[in-house]
Chains A and B, each alone.
Chain A
Amino acid sequence: MPIVVKRKPLTFLEKLYIPEIVRGLTVTFRRMFFGETVTLEYPEQRPPIPAGYRGVPTLVRDPEGREKCVSCQLCEFVCPPKAIRITPGEIPADSDYAHVEKAPKEFDIDMLRCIYCGMCQEVCPEEAIWLQNQYSMSGYTRGEMVNNKAKLYELGGTLPDQHFKWNKKKEAAENGGGHH
């Protein structure tokens, strides 16, 4: 349904044009001296990041410092632009978490390919990969733009959840009971 806006014919003063120019000048003058500045001076001032923001994908550790990723490679399979490369590795037998079986030996995310879709985060059964607040990645070479495992953990930090799923599994296995 089109809306026709009826225009009133211009009054004599409006046709003179000069009073309307003066009105316009007062508007801009007021903007100039009493208007607020909306510029965000970027590198020093940062915009507020809303909750659930999808920034750079990172790997996280649990509160005990264990790396959460178990190298299941689901994120690698689901990644639409194939930005993720995982080389699975063994966990040393003398580790407290030897029963977890696997951990990533290498974990690379190519930030030149990543499209920040968040599917890796959605698919991860261990909640080990998270898209966090960091949004400005830059580098001088293509190699620099590939985040390796150390960089990913550095960016990711610790996820403060208190599930300790693998501790419970280990306890259950030792006490003969079943864990979920």
Chain B
Amino acid sequence: MELTDIAIKSIYAVIVVSVLMGFCSYAVLAERKISSWIQGRVGPNRTTLPIIGSIPYIGRFLTRLGVFQPAADGLKFLFKEDVTPGHVNKVYFILAPVLSLVPALTTVVVVPFGYFENAAGEVVNLVLADLNVAILFLFAISSLGVYGVVLGGWASNSKYPFLGGIRASAQMISYELAMGISVLPVFMWLNAPGTEGTLSLVDVVNSQGGALWNAMWMPGSFLIFVVCIFAETNRLPFDMAESETELVSGFHTEYSSFKFGLFFVGEYAHMLVGSAVVAILFLGGWHPMPFMTWADFGVHGWLAGVLSVGTMIGKLCGFMFFFMWIRWTLPRFRYDQVMRIGWQMLLPLSIANLIVYTFVIYFLERP
């Protein structure tokens, strides 16, 4: 690889990570706004900027929408006093938030988010690294995120964080299995006999172009995978690690300021990557509708790039909204219920689902 290639890749990486961080901060705002709308409140609507905020109508509208709030939140996280309690294990205490954010940002490397056609008419996929084992890489790295939670809980050397950490690890192990098995039908279909074997996420999306989306003819897999994504990202109704009614705020009870901010951003980055994976595996990625691709609409060149990325982001935002919508609808499960759902319901269901689709794919076998 030449030096210029490396430089270009680095620039792409910086752009992708900054966009992801931007999405994270606005996901926090969306969470606050959506929760307040569902609860009949107003939500953040006071933060304003000197010049933009004073534009008539538009400035007021943006202020009421809370568009400037993420900047204030970010500054607060940076400049508040960073308390490190005396009873913690300092090294791991500082390491934990980093460990929870880094895997989330690493997984985005293999997530494709669109394509465009260059001057020669070739299709170029927009992805930082089109690994052939993308899905394995993704699962392997994203489940490392739990180490941050467990380590944070343990290093805090205090009861509630410790319980939160233990719960997080148990939950992660329970749901990883069902999640892994539930996506197998997708890849069995992709690697049907007679085709070139691949685990690449780009190929998953391309296989859904001009065909049914996977969610439509594999609703079982889709449902199990979505439930497991909720559990993996520690979102309600599965936020055992935090569960503020029982454990104060679980693993990050002792954290403040910037370290807490890292945990916070890490959680939202996990959610974003999880939403993107759901969109790619089951909701047709950047294809606008089932049986249709952008090429079928006669869209080519750079316009295809814009529209495909836009579609992908649209699906991602839709699923993020679903995350938040669920949060304010369902109450938290009890810990034993979480374990029972994981081991006694989702795992057998996903195995049954796998067996059924093994036969379905056998009889549907691709030409």
| A interface, CB within 8 angstroms of B | 18, 21, 24-25, 27-29, 31-33, 35-39, 41
User: What chain A residues lie within 8 Å of B37 (beta carbons)?
Assistant: 31-33, 35
Q: Is B41 touching A37 in the complex (CB atoms < 8 A)?
A: yes
Q: Is A21 touching B329 in the complex (CB atoms < 8 A)?
A: yes
Not counting A25-B326, A32-B325, a sample of 12 additional A-B residue pairs whose C-beta atoms are within 8 angstroms of each other reads A18-B223, A25-B325, A25-B329, A29-B325, A31-B37, A32-B34, A36-B40, A37-B40, A37-B41, A37-B42, A38-B40, A39-B42
19 A-B pairs whose Cβ atoms sit less than 8 Å apart in the complex: A18-B223, A21-B330, A24-B330, A27-B329, A28-B328, A29-B325, A31-B37, A31-B38, A32-B34, A33-B37, A35-B37, A35-B38, A35-B40, A37-B40, A37-B41, A37-B42, A38-B40, A39-B42, A41-B42
- Bound CA–CA A144/B132 (angstroms): 72
Q: Is B38 touching A38 in the complex (CB atoms < 8 A)?
A: no
User: Of A18, A28, A38, A39, which contacts B329 at CB under 8 A?
Assistant: A28
| B interface, CB within 8 angstroms of A | 34, 37-42, 45, 223, 325-326, 328-330
- B152: shortest Cβ distance to chain A, in Å? 31
- Bound CA–CA A31/B39 (angstroms): 7
- Bound CA–CA A39/B37 (angstroms): 11
Residue in chain B with minimal CB distance to A35: B40
Residue in chain A with minimal CB distance to B41: A39
- A104: shortest Cβ distance to chain B, in Å? 43
- Bound CA–CA A32/B41 (angstroms): 10
Between A21, A27, A37, the greatest number of chain B beta carbons within 10 A of the residue's beta carbon is seen for A37
- A30: shortest Cβ distance to chain B, in Å? 10
Q: Is A31 touching B42 in the complex (CB atoms < 8 A)?
A: no
Q: Is A28 touching B38 in the complex (CB atoms < 8 A)?
A: yes
Residue in chain A with minimal CB distance to B345: A17
User: What chain A residues lie within 8 Å of B42 (beta carbons)?
Assistant: 37, 39, 41
User: What chain B residues lie within 8 Å of A36 (beta carbons)?
Assistant: 40
Q: Is A31 touching B325 in the complex (CB atoms < 8 A)?
A: no
- Bound CA–CA A33/B38 (angstroms): 8
State the majority secondary structure of interface residues on A.
helix
User: What chain A residues lie within 8 Å of B40 (beta carbons)?
Assistant: 31, 35-39
User: What chain B residues lie within 8 Å of A31 (beta carbons)?
Assistant: 37-40
Q: Is B41 touching A38 in the complex (CB atoms < 8 A)?
A: yes
- Bound CA–CA A24/B331 (angstroms): 11
User: What chain A residues lie within 8 Å of B34 (beta carbons)?
Assistant: 32
Which 10 pairs of residues, A with B, have the shortest CB-CB distance?
Answer: A39-B42, A24-B329, A28-B329, A32-B37, A32-B38, A38-B40, A39-B41, A28-B38, A35-B40, A25-B329
Residue in chain A with minimal CB distance to B237: A21
- A65: shortest Cβ distance to chain B, in Å? 42
User: What chain A residues lie within 8 Å of B325 (beta carbons)?
Assistant: 25, 28-29, 32
Residue in chain B with minimal CB distance to A20: B330
- Bound CA–CA A25/B37 (angstroms): 14
- Bound CA–CA A29/B34 (angstroms): 10
- A20: shortest Cβ distance to chain B, in Å? 10
- Bound CA–CA A39/B328 (angstroms): 18
- Bound CA–CA A32/B324 (angstroms): 12
User: What chain B residues lie within 8 Å of A38 (beta carbons)?
Assistant: 40-41
- Bound CA–CA A33/B321 (angstroms): 14
User: What chain A residues lie within 8 Å of B330 (beta carbons)?
Assistant: 21, 24
Residue in chain A with minimal CB distance to B34: A32
- B45: shortest Cβ distance to chain A, in Å? 8
Residue in chain A with minimal CB distance to B39: A31
User: What chain A residues lie within 8 Å of B39 (beta carbons)?
Assistant: 31
- Bound CA–CA A152/B293 (angstroms): 76
Residue in chain B with minimal CB distance to A31: B38
- A28: shortest Cβ distance to chain B, in Å? 5
- Bound CA–CA A21/B38 (angstroms): 16
User: What chain B residues lie within 8 Å of A33 (beta carbons)?
Assistant: 37
Between A21, A31, A32, the greatest number of chain B beta carbons within 10 A of the residue's beta carbon is seen for A32
User: What chain B residues lie within 8 Å of A41 (beta carbons)?
Assistant: 42, 45
- Bound CA–CA A28/B330 (angstroms): 10
User: What chain B residues lie within 8 Å of A35 (beta carbons)?
Assistant: 37-38, 40
- Bound CA–CA A27/B45 (angstroms): 25
- Bound CA–CA A24/B38 (angstroms): 12
- Bound CA–CA A27/B328 (angstroms): 11
User: What chain B residues lie within 8 Å of A39 (beta carbons)?
Assistant: 40-42
- Bound CA–CA A45/B45 (angstroms): 15
- B302: shortest Cβ distance to chain A, in Å? 36
Residue in chain A with minimal CB distance to B331: A24
- B167: shortest Cβ distance to chain A, in Å? 22
User: What chain B residues lie within 8 Å of A27 (beta carbons)?
Assistant: 329
- A16: shortest Cβ distance to chain B, in Å? 11
- B332: shortest Cβ distance to chain A, in Å? 14
- A15: shortest Cβ distance to chain B, in Å? 11
Residue in chain B with minimal CB distance to A18: B223
- A38: shortest Cβ distance to chain B, in Å? 5
